[in-house]
Amino acid sequence: MSARTAATAAPPWYREVTREQWRAFLAAYLGWTLDGFDFTILTFLLVEIQQTFTVNAALAGALGTATLLFRVVGGIGAGTAADRWGRKRPLMFSILWYSVFAGLGGFSTSYAMLFACRALFGIGMGGVWAAGMPLALEHWPSRLRGLASGLLQGGYPMGFILSSLVYQLGYPFVRTQTDEPWRVMLFLGVLPALLVFWIGRRVKESPVWLARQQARTGDGSREFSLARLFDAGLWRTTLHTSLVMTAFLFLYQAISFWYPTLLRGMGRQPLPYLIAFNAGAVAGNVICGRLSESWLGRRGAASLATFVGVSALPIFAFPVATPWLLVGAAVMGAFATGNFGIMPGYLSERFPTAVRAGGAGFAYHVGAALASVAPSLVGALVDRGLPLERAMSYCILVSGAAVIVAMWLGPETRGRTLVDA
């Protein structure tokens, strides 16, 4: 059979993935998508929350900062649990946790109570990523890991699209029924808890984790994965990946957290631009993940995407004609946030199986904690008199450069196998 005939006869990539592997993927994807919905719905409600509790822009931004800070607790906790007891149960617990505290935020009687609920919500948010990503990636064929990585990370902007549609279509009706409609929007956050029942019945544990457990049954020992992150062979990896994630997540928060408020300030209805931004991000995550399997590698794909995205600032953050503003939203989403498409695969490849969930969870969410100052920093700059578009732009430029530098300070990981170090 000729090479051309063989290529023609080869099945499409999605037929290489079994039902069991698709279920593992969907468990992580839906958990992350609905997590994105519960987090981003708040960004549409900041003005109303400021009015209800009489707080300034910096305190409103601090609601996002609190969530990001507490993600580190969930990321480390669920990641460590996933390395010791399997990926599936920590994922289920994390989804249930963030659903409960997302909904409880709607009952807040003070800013302090809402702040506490959003902080505790962050624990579950961090846990979903730390446990869900290795569950999905350890099921899938290794040659499709870059694609799976991009598809998984695209779940978050899909959640943003969902929150945009719910706000646009549901908020006007809710506003006619209650004086504080933002509370109803937060109540919707309990719905992801229903996903837990499906995961418990239909999703299987990671075969890579199970194989490792079987190989270790002889001595009956249990490693505490978090401690191993700082041993002589891993501490540099832990430090570097945490700095990489700080740069990536600072860039993302600088772009996205105040974006709906920026659009309103321009007199624009946010929905079309948010859909363009997040649709771009969904596509960009997949494209960047796929490109990372090419000669560009993980570092080249992420660097190229970041550079192109940040270059769109003039038509993203500043008042221009509607068509250009829509293009700016799509380009910024596709490239400056689509760069995350490499990340699930990249972090999984940096850590061995024994500490993969804990290591990836630690790096991702320590980065989230350090980058959590971004929403508050932008708000503080605005309180000091800087226009919002300039405050966002300064933070985007600096963090975009940091992403590129940080990626090239570490090794290329394309082609690595997910086995014990």
On whether the pTM is more than 0.85, the answer is no
In a domain, 295, yes or no: yes
Is pLDDT above 60 for 389?
Answer: yes
Give tens-digit pLDDT for 11-53: 776 677 889 989 999 999 999 999 989 988 988 888 889 989 9
Distance CA 244, CA 246 (A): 5
Can you read off the two tokens belonging to residue 389?
Answer: 């578009």
Is pLDDT above 80 for 176?
Answer: yes
Percentage with pLDDT > 70 across the chain: 93
Q: Specify the pLDDT at position 9.
A: 57
Distance CA 16, CA 135 (A): 18
Give tens-digit pLDDT for 332-376: 999 999 998 888 889 888 988 778 888 888 888 888 788 888 888
Residue 142 or residue 298, greater confidence: 298
Q: Specify the pLDDT at position 419.
A: 57
CATH number of the CATH domain containing 117: 1.20.1250.20
Q: What is the domain range of residue 179? A: 17-205+224-408
In a domain, 214, yes or no: no
In a domain, 12, yes or no: no
Can you read off the two tokens belonging to residue 17?
Answer: 């993935």
Q: Report residue 218's pLDDT band, with 50, 70 and 90 as the boundaries.
A: low
Tell me the angle at which helices 373-383 and 57-85 cross, rounded to the nearest 10 degrees.
180
Q: Specify the pLDDT at position 421.
A: 44
Is pLDDT above 90 for 61?
Answer: no
In a domain, 11, yes or no: no
Distance CA 250, CA 328 (A): 19
In a domain, 259, yes or no: yes
- Give residue for tokens 């946030």: 337
Across residues 115-123, what is the average pLDDT?
A: 94
Across residues 373-382, what is the average pLDDT?
A: 87
Q: How many CB atoms lie within 10 A of CB 264?
A: 15
Q: Report residue 220's pLDDT band, with 50, 70 and 90 as the boundaries.
A: very low
Lowest mean pLDDT among 108-112, 250-254, 368-372: 368-372
Distance CA 100, CA 89 (A): 17
Q: Are 60 and 382 in contact (CB under 8 A)?
A: no
Is pLDDT above 50 for 77?
Answer: yes
Distance CA 46, CA 51 (A): 9
Q: Report residue 216's pLDDT band, with 50, 70 and 90 as the boundaries.
A: low
Residue 214 or residue 78, greater confidence: 78
CA distances to 99, 114, 263, 418 from 361, rounded to whole Å, are: 20, 25, 33, 16
In a domain, 327, yes or no: yes
Q: Which residues contact 274 (CB under 8 A, 6 or more apart)?
A: 160, 161, 164, 259, 260, 263, 329
Written as one string, the DSSP assignment of 288-315 is: HHHHTTSTTHHHHHHHHHHHHHHTTGGG
In a domain, 3, yes or no: no
Q: Specify the pLDDT at position 225.
A: 58
Q: Which residues contact 121 (CB under 8 A, 6 or more apart)?
A: 38, 39, 67, 70, 98, 101, 102, 105, 189
Q: Report residue 217's pLDDT band, with 50, 70 and 90 as the boundaries.
A: low
Phi-psi region of 223 (alpha: psi -120 to 50; beta: other; left: phi over 0): beta
Q: Report residue 331's pLDDT band, with 50, 70 and 90 as the boundaries.
A: very high
In a domain, 210, yes or no: no
Across residues 127-155, what is the average pLDDT?
A: 84
Domains contained in the chain, number: 1
Mean pLDDT over each residue of the chain, to the nearest integer: 86
Nearest in space to 83 (alpha carbons), one of 413, 418, 361: 361
Is pLDDT above 90 for 114?
Answer: yes
CA distances to 8, 123, 284, 369 from 221, rounded to whole Å, are: 49, 28, 43, 32
Residue 156 or residue 221, greater confidence: 156
